[in-house]
Structure 1
Amino acid sequence: MKIRPLEKGDLPYIYQQENSRKVMALWFQEAYTSFDELQILYERHILDQTERRFVVENDEQFIGVVELVDIDPLHRHTEIQIIINSDYQGHGYAQLAMKSGIDYAFKVLNMHKVYLYVDVDNSAAIHIYKKVGFIEEGILRQHFFAEGRYHDSLMMGILANEFTSKN
């Protein structure tokens, strides 16, 4: 398994993910993107230095995406997000992809902290994040709206020295 930069040729896979209500609810986002809109967003964001988008693949097979967003060079922190295609869940790809994304944030971008938001009811994801080394920092009450209701969100973070000592 490896991560590589998102390319324009990957957009059909992204389009499938971004139009899945089940998948996008995990990111607390609306599942609605036209392919034309997705192409425009890709062109607009390709040079954006506040984000990095990677494809997770194994033997050149698209498995998912891991993203570093809201990269803040002053405070040296970034949010990480991940989606693994449902056909590949339960095979350890999420943990490996998270480690690769975090490693990039710390070793290439010189971040001090990587953080994420996760639904408090998403115990499978929380388990993976804790295995990688994330620590619970607090709960944001009714912070995100998805699937017709507000969700409490757990904020988790990992510092560079914590990740280095664990890996």
Structure 2
Amino acid sequence: MKIRPLEKRDLPYIYQQENSRKVMALWFQEAYTSFDELQLLYERHVLDQTERRFVVEDKDQFIGVVELMYIDGLHRHTEIQVIIHPDHQGHGYAQSAIKAGIEYAFKVLNMHKVYLYVDVDNAAAIHIYKKVGFTQEGVLRGHFFAEGKYHDSMMMGILAHEFIAN
């Protein structure tokens, strides 16, 4: 498994993910994107220095996406998001992808902290994040709306020295 920068050729896979209600509910986002809109977003964000988007692949096969969002150069922190295609879940890709994204954040971007939000009911994801070294920092009540209801969201974080020691 490896991560590489998102390319225009990956947009059909992203389009498929972004129109899956099950997948996008994990990111607390609406599953509604036209392919034209996706192409415009790609063009608009390809040079944006406050985010990095990576494709997770194994043997040249698209597995999912890991993203560093809201990269803050002053406070040296960023949010991380990962989505593994349902066909590839349960094979350790999420853990490997999150580790690769965190390593990039700390060793390449010189971040001090990486954080994420996860639905408090998503036990599988919470388990993976704790295994990698994330610590629960708090719970935001009714913070995200997805699938017709409000969800409590756990905020988790990991500091550079914690990741390096892990």
Residue 117 (structure 1) aligns with: 117
How far the C-alpha of 1:157 sits from its partner, in A, is 0.1
Residue 42 (structure 2) aligns with: 42
Residue 80 (structure 2) aligns with: 80
What SS is found at the alignment partner of 2:24?
helix
How far the C-alpha of 1:60 sits from its partner, in A, is 0.3
What SS is found at the alignment partner of 1:66?
strand
What SS is found at the alignment partner of 1:131?
helix
* TM-score (normalizing by structure 1): 0.99
Summarize deviations over 1:28-85 as a string: whole Å, max 9, x none. 0000000000000000000000000000000000000000000000000000000000
* TM-score (normalizing by structure 2): 1.00
How far the C-alpha of 1:113 sits from its partner, in A, is 0.1
What SS is found at the alignment partner of 1:16?
helix
The amino acid of 1:60's aligned partner reads D
The amino acid of 1:6's aligned partner reads L
Residue 59 (structure 1) aligns with: 59
- Is 1:103–2:89 an aligned residue pair? no
Give structure 1 regions of 4+ aligned residues with deviation exceeding 6 angstroms: none
Whole-angstrom CA distance in 2 between matches of 1:111 and 1:23: 28
Whole-angstrom CA distance in 1 between matches of 2:134 and 2:60: 29
Q: How large is the RMSD of aligned CA atoms in angstroms?
A: 0.2
Whole-angstrom CA distance in 1 between matches of 2:149 and 2:86: 23
Gaps of 5+ in 1: none
Residue 136 (structure 1) aligns with: 136
The amino acid of 1:57's aligned partner reads E
Residue 17 (structure 1) aligns with: 17
Whole-angstrom CA distance in 2 between matches of 1:160 and 1:60: 30
How far the C-alpha of 1:114 sits from its partner, in A, is 0.1
The amino acid of 2:71's aligned partner reads I
Gaps of 5+ in 2: none
How far the C-alpha of 1:19 sits from its partner, in A, is 0.2
